[in-house]
Structure formats: structure tokens, C-alpha cells
Structure 1
Amino acid sequence: MTQQHGKKIMIVTAPANGKRFCGETNYYEQLLTAVANSGGKGYVFPLDKNPMDRKGFYWDAPNRRWVAAFCPIPDIVYNRYPFKIRENKLACKRFFQWLDDQHIPCFNTAFFDKLTIATLLKNDAVLSAHAPLTEQLRSLEQLRRRLKKYPVVFLKDIHGAQGRGIWKVVRKGKSYQLHSQRKVFPSLTFPALSCLLQPVIKQRTLLIQQGIRSLKTADGVYDFRVLMMKEKKHWQCIGTGIRLAAHGGFTTHVKYGGKAASTNAALLRPPQAVVAFIGRHVGRLLDASYPHIREFSMDMVMDRNRQLWIVDINSKPMSFDENIIQQKRIRKLVNIFLKQGV
């Protein structure tokens, strides 16, 4: 067993045009500084076409600069590779297979499959009550049937992330509205709606998800982002952030105008004990299907009856704007890296 001091941590990400690597640079700077302060050594490795080159960077905290370096064989790998489709390509597969062959622990090993997650939630006796209907969209007739049952549905690209590849469809009487992230198509007949969506359905693998009449402010909808982490075999709720959509928006992602709510905003919050209970149950469910998970986040909404719904689960959570949550996350990651392993 490698001793805590001198333990080598590798953060895997991807190359980026015009930058050293993809990802949240500030997060990695803070994380690797905390690793170094606890006696470890950390590197960022942009996984490229030649994964065995191991050309990466370390963070020189005293001089606040990234330094190019050859990454030594790590003791543990933190997978932050940001591209879902490319993660399944040969170069990535070769690298992660090499880690497995060398018995080097790695978390989280891959993106979650959205349809698999939806099926797991639907089939669980506890979590099914918090799971909106979610299924693969195979035809326009299926869309018509679901819109007869639900006044709002969301269409989600199975490979989408961070708000990309989401459409909202609203039934209003005998007409429909189609919302993309940048445009609204009002007063559509179903044939007109079908013409707009047909190319998307042909080119992408989509899920259709029941829309929830969630709580909103005068400006728009808001939801909850919950961070869960596993320490010493137990899942813990690290914190819950509130995200506000842009005025007229339907998702709370920052790229599309979403923002974190202030801690003193007068918004109805879910009971933290209930959120933690749901999160722990989700964690145990994921453990049975995905190896080596140590963190995930849930996007949740609360309807007007104060029922909580899970609308998405993310295997590689982005940084939290709430500093108290993010710093607690970093402390726990360092403890996992240097003391517990995967």
C-alpha cells in the first residue's frame, strides 16, 4: 500500500485548442494545492491520441503557474474527461484498460447512461416516486401520445451535457410550442411541430421526459443541485445549491443564463433530511451498476405539492458556486485520494 505522503494523483481531462487542457482550471488549481498541502503530488493529464505519452502539467502554487511535466504512474486517477462520445473511442478505452491492468484505481470511471439511470430509478420501489417518466423517443406518434397525457415534455439528447441538447414542448389546447435554448416556436400544429423535430429525431438519440410543474419565482423557474460523496463506504449529502433560470428560460445552466441563487433568497427549499435520504438511496443504487463512484450530483425540482423529482444525475459534477460546498468537496476528495483510495 502506498503511503499517504508522496501519493500521486492524476486528474484526467482532454486537450483544448488554445489552452493547456479542457476543464475547470480554477477547480484543479485549488484541488491540487490541497493535495500538495496534505503531502501528495497531483498532475493534470490531457488524454490525447497517444495516451501512453503521459504528457501533462502540475500546478506550481507558490508561483501560480502550470508547468509542463511527464506524469508519473499514478496511485489514483480522478476521471474528469469531458466528452461523452470521445470517452468511448479507442484511445480513451486503451488508457482506462491500462489502468485496470495495472490495478490503478480510477473514479468516476465513465459518464452515466441517461436511459440506464432512468430505468434504474423507475424500477426502484423508493425512487420511482421521485422519477418523472423518462423513455427513449422512437417516433412522433409516441411524442403525440405523451403530449396527450402531459402538457409539458422535455426532449433530451442522450449524449447532451450542461444544458446542450434539450428541447421543451408545451401543449396549449390544440396547439403546441417548441422551445430550444435560443428560440421559441409558438402556435404550432402537430404536423408543423413534427416537421421541426423530425431532423433532430433522425440525427440524435433522444429521451422524452415528463415535464414537472415546478416552483417558480416572478422571473422564472428554479431547481436544486445536490452534491453527494461517498466516504468510508457511506454516501453523504455535501450540500444543496439553488439554481435560477434566466428570464423566460427553461433550464438553469449557466451557459444559457442560469445562475446560483443567493443564500438569503426567499425561495422555498426542500427539507435537507429528505434530500439526503433520496441521495443516499440513489448512491446505493448506482453502486450496484457503476463501479468506483465516489461523487455524483442530482438535479432536482419541487412541484407545487412540494414533491421532489429527480430530473438528472451527473457522474462528473461541475464546481459548485457555493464556496462552502465546494471547499467541503475538495477536503473530502483529498481525504479519499490520500487516505482511502477507491
Structure 2
Amino acid sequence: MRAAPVDIYYNRKIKCWSTLHQTDLTFGSNKEKLSTISSITSDCIAFQISQTKNNIGPIIGILVSYNKKNKLSGNGPLFINLQKELTKLGGIVIIFAPEDISETEVAGFVLDPKENRWIHVKSPLPHVVYNRIPFRKTEKQKPYQHAVQFFANKNIPFFNPSFLNKYEIYTFFKEHPVLKPFLPPTMLITDQNVLYDFLKKHKNIYIKPVEGKKGNKIINIKINQDDSITAKTPKETKEFSTFIHFWNYFNSTNDPPSYIAQKTIEAAKYNGHRYDFRLLILYDKDKYVLKGVGIRQSVSQEITTHIPNGGQLLPYHALRTQSHDHFIDTLVKYCGDCLSNQLGFFGEFSIDACVDIYGNYYLFEINSKPMLFDELDIEQARCTQLAKLCYQLGNFNIPE
């Protein structure tokens, strides 16, 4: 039998967590003793929190960062949806930045359950930390690195340790006997000669930033019979009389070593337009599980299927086959373990993949900070599993 949820109160005036009756309950991973109040004042905000033994929680820390306006920046709708799921179980989310951590507490924002708005609080240390830093540069700075080390020293579970680098993931997966066959030929653009040789070999390739997202800065180039180059982005097409002219243009506007080149895969089409798979995968107890498959289809252009670039959604059941299912199950089984063995524990990630016109399957990239899925059922399944995962990692009993 699980213990009933505990009513605790945060006093915004004195910045303190309390109970109304004397107890031996503690709060947070550092087991801070709760004070006792004699009455509930207008400064008090009530929360119903679950408990395991005499510890109340879990407190789920979501790590974000400050933007240029010195405001916390992150995926607000995801955090609200996760809190709604945790409310059903008796958990609480606190959003904070690396700079807001001290030895025994964090300063951040929790969702007022009555007013449904974020309020600033000071809290004991969280039981689990979910990394949702929105900017790659933040993860390269000392406050973030100190935060990661701090939580490791405190034995506080921390998941999704970093953004991913496309070429680094390629080098990991090409050593994996099961995943290697699914990788398109890929190279790091170190200079113009290696890119030219790669283009001559494959005729039609994509150039992608190793740290890009949402199809941004992606270029499709092909070499024509007269050695001229056609370069396409989601917004425009440019023609170059020679590869050198293209290279000079590309080199002047980009940093080539931060890009990869990848053979163009002729993706299968549905109703005349290419499509690919978006997979959402989360950890559950001791294995990775599939939480949803979305289909993205190009419409207004054929360079990318991303929704911001004119792509559209299709339901997976419209295209589902046993072969597709087998491929997806294989990725679920092996990708997460490979990632976590190399870079640290990932509790969730998404995959972009496709099948080509010949029935061959390809894995394009992995995203360690999935944005919201447009499919509401997938997003709901995601938040339900994230809440369960946080309970599991924090060693709290999941209410039946």
C-alpha cells in the first residue's frame, strides 16, 4: 500500500517549504527537514507530493539556460505537460539554470497548481535532473560542466547529457555490426579535395552542419555531366559553372569542417512525394522502448521533410509494413545502448530514418533534445513515460 500524498506548502515571503503538522518527513535528494507552520497564510502555495519512506518527492530538476535577455529559455509546453503527468503521480518539476545551483539547494521555477503559472522558489536538491539546455554553446561553458560534475558528485541521476554531433554519432555507429549497414556513406568536410572526390563518386549529396537541427543550413548538391554544380536549399536553387565556384561560395559563407557530406538517398515516395520516419524512444526500467512513429512528407520542396520547411504529417498506419516495423524495432533495440555507452545515459531521443525506393533502410540522425511531436498521442505517451522514468531514476514508487 502506498502512502497518501502529503500536503506541503511553499511560503513565498520567507522562501521556505513546510507542513501543517509536525512530521519527520524530509524533502529533496539531500533530505532537507521540513519546517512546521501553525496556519496557512496567503503567502503559502499548496502542493500534493508523494512519498517513499519518509522522503517527499520526487523533485524533478529540468536544466535550462538563460537567453540574451537574462530570461530562462526552454521548451515551456513540454515542461507544463510533464508537470501535468507528474501531478497525477505526486511529483514536482523545478526549472533552473546551472548558475542557480548551490551546495544544498537550487533556485528556479515551479508550476503553481492552482494558478497554473510559474513561480520562483528555492528548493532542496532534486532527485533527478533532465537536461533540456536549449543552446549548444551553453553545454560548452563552465557553469554547465560544473553542474554536471556537481550532480555526479551528489549521486543525483542526470539524463540526456548533451546535444549530439552528427559526425561523432556516425563514427560510433559505423563500428556497430547491426547499425553500420543502415548508415549512408558519410564524410567530414576537411577540405575541398575530399568533398570533390566524394561528390564525383556519389554524384548527388547532401551537406549538413554537424550541429544543425530542423533541416537548417542543409544543401543538396549534384554534379552535372558538364561538371557544373546545382545547389539546392529548401528556399532556393543556385547554379555554379564549376565545383571551384561552388566551393568558394560555400567556403565564404560557412565553416566547412563543421559540416558533413552524405550520399543522397532516394527516399520512397507516397503520392508523389518523399517521406521519412520520426521515431520517439524512451528508457523504461532496463531497456529502450518505442513511444511513437511519425511520418514526415515533403510537399513544397524535396530537400527536407521538416514541417517548418513545408513538410506535412502522415499517420504511420497509412504506410506501416512488417518490414518497416522490423527496421524500427532494430533501431530501438541498439541505438540507445550504443549512445549511452559512448556518451552517458540518455533517457529519451528521437531518430530520423527512411526507406529508399529499393526497400533499403537508412538511419540519418539522432536528436537528444526532441522538440514537441505534432502527433498528440505520441506527445502524451512521451510525457507519461518521462514521468515514469523520473520516478524510476529517483527510486520512488510509481503509484498504481
What TM-score do you get using the length of structure 1 for normalisation? 0.90
Q: 1:215 — aligned with what?
A: 268
C-alpha distance in 2 between matches for 1:204 and 1:118: 15
C-alpha distance in 2 between matches for 1:341 and 1:172: 57
1:286 aligns with 2:286: no
1:214 aligns to what SS in structure 2?
coil
C-alpha distance in 1 between matches for 2:301 and 2:271: 10
Q: 2:34 — aligned with what?
A: none
Measure how far apart 1:156 and its partner are. Answer: 1.7
Q: Deviations over 1:317-341 (max 9, x none)?
A: 1121112211111111111111344
Q: 2:328 — aligned with what?
A: 275
2:337 aligns to what SS in structure 1?
helix
Q: 1:144 — aligned with what?
A: 196
Pick aligned residue for 2:152 from 97, 100, 125: 100
How does 1:300-339 map onto structure 2 within 5 Å? 300-339=353-392
2:168 aligns to what SS in structure 1?
helix
Q: Is the 1:147–1:153 contact (alpha carbons within 8 Å) kept by the matching residues of 2?
A: yes
Q: 1:72 — aligned with what?
A: 124
Q: Is the 2:164–2:211 contact (alpha carbons within 8 Å) kept by the matching residues of 1?
A: no
Q: 2:77 — aligned with what?
A: 26
Measure how far apart 1:203 and its partner are. Answer: 6.3
2:134 aligns to what SS in structure 1?
coil
What TM-score do you get using the length of structure 2 for normalisation? 0.78
How does 1:90-239 map onto structure 2 within 5 Å? 90-174=142-226, 175-186=228-239, 188-200=241-253, 202=255, 205-217=258-270, 220-239=273-292
Pick aligned residue for 2:89 from 38, 55, 63: 38
C-alpha distance in 2 between matches for 1:276 and 1:258: 25
Q: Greater CA deviation, 228-237 or 161-170? A: 161-170
C-alpha distance in 1 between matches for 2:269 and 2:224: 19
Q: Is the 2:233–2:303 contact (alpha carbons within 8 Å) kept by the matching residues of 1?
A: no
C-alpha distance in 1 between matches for 2:145 and 2:70: 24
Measure how far apart 1:59 and its partner are. Answer: 1.4
Q: Which runs of 5+ in 1 are unaligned?
A: none
Measure how far apart 1:78 and its partner are. Answer: 0.5
Q: Deviations over 1:151-194 (max 9, x none)?
A: 22111222222222322212232322112343210354212211
1:13 aligns with 2:64: yes
Q: Greater CA deviation, 175-184 or 74-83? A: 175-184
| Greater relative contact order structure (CA < 8 Å, 6+ sep) | 1
Q: Which runs of 5+ in 2 are unaligned?
A: 1-28, 32-50, 396-400
Aligned length: 340
Q: Deviations over 1:181-230 (max 9, x none)?
A: 43210354212211211224546511111111112345643211011112
Letter in 1 for 2:90: G
Letter in 2 for 1:90: K
Q: Is the 1:85–1:159 contact (alpha carbons within 8 Å) kept by the matching residues of 2?
A: no
C-alpha distance in 2 between matches for 1:268 and 1:189: 43
Q: Is the 2:282–2:349 contact (alpha carbons within 8 Å) kept by the matching residues of 1?
A: yes
C-alpha distance in 1 between matches for 2:250 and 2:275: 26
C-alpha distance in 1 between matches for 2:169 and 2:132: 20
C-alpha distance in 2 between matches for 1:27 and 1:143: 40
2:60 aligns to what SS in structure 1?
strand
Computed over aligned residues only, the root mean square deviation of the Cα atoms, in angstroms, reads 2.4
Letter in 1 for 2:153: D
Q: 2:312 — aligned with what?
A: 259
Measure how far apart 1:268 and its partner are. Answer: 6.5
1:247 aligns to what SS in structure 2?
coil
C-alpha distance in 2 between matches for 1:198 and 1:18: 32
C-alpha distance in 1 between matches for 2:299 and 2:134: 25
Measure how far apart 1:86 and its partner are. Answer: 2.2
Letter in 1 for 2:275: Y
C-alpha distance in 1 between matches for 2:320 and 2:144: 43
1:132 aligns to what SS in structure 2?
coil
C-alpha distance in 2 between matches for 1:73 and 1:289: 27
C-alpha distance in 2 between matches for 1:72 and 1:341: 14
Measure how far apart 1:17 and its partner are. Answer: 5.2
